[in-house]
Amino acid sequence: MLGLAFSGGKDSLACWYLYSSQNPVVFWVNTGKSYPETRDVVDEVRKAAKLFVEVQTNQQAQNDHEGLPSDIVPVDYTIFGMQCTGVKKVAVQSYLNCCAINISRPLMDAAKSYGITHLVRGQRNSESHKSPSRNGDVVEGVKFIQPIENWSDEQVLNFIEAKRGSLPPHFSIKHSSLDCYDCTAYMEHSQDRIEWMKNQHPELYVKYEDRMTALRSTVAPIIRNWVM
């Protein structure tokens, strides 16, 4: 059975247009923190898909328990570290852990529960962050199909525009899936997302900045001590 891992971003939308005629089961993980723009694209595909599965996760609850996702993780401020060093005001976790628990693991579990044998994914080789799996790899009994692995950003956008007639404005953002508006990680690659949010959704930006302030207050002093 064929499934499609759908994030609402440009890469997964391109995959939808490539495979929609085969009626894949579409899986979207709703973290509870998606941007309105993402939900609009998701709803387009939801209406067109023969079977659309919304996988509910709770990013807020997971972050409350395990900490703010970060590119820099002070060990003493992790859940495990605090067992040895005492409870801290702000807990911190790896962004890889956050994404795995709130997105990739629930999606994979849902796909397997529906009997998916082949899962289409929008991963591309040019991405700065990607899983080690490649097109044709079998993971947990599911074969990954990654048809746009070697596409460029321009190829993806041109293909979508040809199929859809226009591009969603936020596809100008490099990481266009916009899974969590208050994500405090991926700082090197998030400046365009943050500027977009600041201009288009100031109410969401305030929530993001509150979390970033808390994270900076924890990480910055440790970095200063280390470089000294």
CATH number at residue 211: 3.40.50.620
Q: Tokens 């060990």 sit at which residue?
A: 75
pLDDT at residue 187 in the model: 87
The residues pairing with 39 across neighbouring beta strands, listed in sequence order, are none
The H or E element containing residue 139 is strand 138-139
Residue 40 has pLDDT above 80, yes or no: yes
Q: Tokens 């950003």 sit at which residue?
A: 153
Taking residues 26-48, what's their average pLDDT? Answer: 97
Residue 40 domain boundaries: 2-227
Taking residues 56-79, what's their average pLDDT? Answer: 96
Number of Cβ within 10 Å of residue 186's Cβ equals 17
Give pLDDT tens digits for 81-122: 999 999 999 999 999 999 999 999 999 999 999 999 999 999
Task: Indicate the pTM of the whole model.
Answer: 0.94
Our count of domains for the chain comes to 1
pLDDT at residue 63 in the model: 98
Give pLDDT tens digits for 134-191: 999 999 999 999 999 999 999 999 999 999 999 999 999 888 778 999 999 998 889 9
* Cβ 197 vs Cβ 181: under 8 Å: yes
Taking residues 34-46, what's their average pLDDT? Answer: 96
Residue 17 has pLDDT above 70, yes or no: yes
Residues contacting 116, CB < 8 A, separation 6+: 1, 2, 3, 25, 142
Residue 13 has pLDDT above 70, yes or no: yes
Residue 228 has pLDDT above 80, yes or no: no
pLDDT at residue 154 in the model: 96
* Cβ 181 vs Cβ 207: under 8 Å: yes
Residue 196 has pLDDT above 70, yes or no: yes
- Of all residues in the chain, what percent carry a pLDDT higher than 70? 99
pLDDT at residue 226 in the model: 76
Q: CA 189 to CA 193: how far, in whole Å?
A: 8
pLDDT at residue 220 in the model: 84
pLDDT at residue 177 in the model: 76
Taking residues 65-76, what's their average pLDDT? Answer: 95
